Structure 1
């Protein structure tokens, strides 16, 4: 390779590495199950990001819905899985930048964390899980399927050979579980991941923390990205009005998706800076949990939403 080009790559990479704080996970410390020659232009996490971004599984994000399964046919501005991934990636990289963490690792995890999500959002996941259990293969969980895709399905069964840290971040995300504080499980092994998968598919309720702070950022961001956007979609779909939002949470978190995101991002940055954990402050966490409960009651389990999604449970076994 041209010596000047090599010098440029090395200079820019060193410049980026110098911006990382002491708690960031460095690409040089990452590992893969199958060793590879280093990429002169990209870090290991940049390689992972690109493998995910250009995979067939990533292209299948397009058209997969979030909460409202069939509205995209009549309203193209309703949120789909592809948009959610973009929001998680952008928000988590913003948080990571101000915490001096590795944003390349964050981006790779964010882009891959929902690869295994089935169509029709969480109702689709529930319906598919019921089918899996009836056929004796255990519960279906999209985070586990996401890892299965990058390990065993992509590249015609060869897998993407991603780094352990990205794979762990993908399988360890769980936006449904509310956490005020996330402390990385830094001594995690491949055996721990496989034991988690076995137990989770068997129906055990487990807390499985990411191995890196970067993975914790993506996990906490998953909720930040969907909580306010689901409200905006529900208002757009006439499920509720803005005046019906809980006054106490609106006063604290904000009245729009943009305001809610800003409040939550600032809380994470303030409470996580130079810490060995990723966290909201207690008051913000309590308001977020209250808003999440409101969403479950007024949006996710709304009679009209469930009625429109009932066809999923009838057709999934087919």
Structure 2
């Protein structure tokens, strides 16, 4: 037996032993499924576990690097300590891995889903997401959701349209991670196939609110889904207190009594509760007491933070900004007389098949890939007058 063959054989044995140590409800490394065919020789040795490769694909993607300039909920505050999207995904990953370790699940799969779950977020978070969705609806094209767009980024946008060969289980966890929906019990859809995944992905683009009705195929995907919630509830509270939107004393008494009044206490209680009540079960479950308190907190955050008058007023401006950019880019794309627009350069660098993409989707790709500050800079250059000195200078 050749040296390379011995290494591969040893790796397969080690994979089998690793899988045997996991919970019977965990996703095994040997179950990793790819959604793309690849020309890469299957005998090529790689020291990484299957889902570790997906972690690296996410980490080294351009979409991941743009996390650093995308805010989470409070887009227009200049405080450096307000949560950025880059910190949010790391916190989701940390919380999810803690839960996964307590339940003996596949930590590599959890980390890959967690780090990649927001790759497709538009500038200005959910405000930008809704604005792009409105633009697609107005053109009778479909609907925009950041979870489906995250999958699209990994498969069809990265590497100039070549994409990455990410595993089905990771893509599915990203597609189904919706942190806006709260449940006491999270059960995976274990019978899901590649065909069903593709159907769900397409329906997210073409059926209103469809992304809220799908479930992850793995227990690890369920862990990331609830970790997304756990990560932001306490941090949104802290951020809102920091900028003066609410006071600590505003928190409902039943929340403080059960979950505590700061981010650390809330995370500890929520993680501990779900691990204890989900141990050796094929699903995740909160205790009735903790879930009731979490529901109250969920509603409090929505009412007193996300729909605070100051945020509503400023978010209306951000909505107009994103919509005006979308409309301008759409006109640029259809302008045959000038092919030097930014969106034209975006299309030019992509693989040939990308040029067949509908214009509505191309504009969505281009705009959703922008960071907060870049979108603002492009908007100012396009729509606001320039400041000149004593004379008009030619560009």
TM-score class, shorter: over 0.9
Counterparts of 1:151 and 1:3, CA distance in 2:
31
1:138 and 2:178 equivalent?
no
- 1:232-267 Cα offsets, whole Å, 9 max, x none, are 000001001101111111111111000000010011
How far apart in 2 are the matches of 1:11 and 1:195? 35
Q: Structure 1: any 5+ residue segments left out of the alignment?
A: none
2:208 matched to which residue of 1?
203
Q: Does 1:42 align with 2:44?
A: no
1:260 equivalent to 2:266? Answer: yes
Q: Quote the Cα distance in structure 2 between the aligned partners of 1:122 and 1:227.
A: 15
Counterpart position of 1:53: 59
What displacement does 1:281 show? Answer: 1.4
Which of 287, 311, 316 is equivalent to 1:281?
Answer: 287
- 1: CA distance between counterparts of 2:24 and 2:172? 21
| Equivalent position of 1:78 in the other structure | 82
* Cα shift readout 1:165-222 (whole Å, capped 9, x = no counterpart): 1111110111001111111101112232233234333214442111110011001111
Q: 1:70 to 1:204 in 2, by over 3 A?
A: closer
CA deviations over 1:254-309 (Å, ceiling 9, x no partner): 11000000010011101111001012112211110110100011000000111222
Give the TM-score taking structure 2 as reference length: 0.76
Q: CA deviation at 1:16?
A: 4.4
**Does the CA contact (< 8 Å) of 1:89 and 1:111 recur in 2?**
yes
Is the 1:131–1:316 Cα contact (8 Å) retained in structure 2?
Answer: no
Residue 159 of structure 1, CA deviation: 1.3
Partners of 1:18 and 1:190 lie apart in 2 by 25
Mapping for residues 6-155 of structure 1, pairs under 5 Å? 16-33=18-35, 34-35=37-38, 37=42, 39-71=45-77, 74-155=78-159
State the aligned residue count.
316
RMSD: 2.1
Partner of 1:303: 309
Query: Using the alignment, how far apart are the partners of 2:33 and 2:203 within structure 1?
Result: 25
The normalised TM-score by structure 1 is: 0.93
Distance in 2 between the 1:170 and 1:280 partners? 22
SS in 2 for 1:61: helix
Question: Which has the higher Rg, Structure 1 or Structure 2?
Answer: 2
5+ long unaligned stretches in structure 2: 326-395
Deviation at 1:19, TM superposition (A): 3.5
Q: How does 1:230-249 map to 2 (within 5 A)?
A: 230-249=236-255
Which portions of structure 1, spanning 4 or more consecutive aligned residues, are displaced by more than 6 angstroms? Answer: 1-12
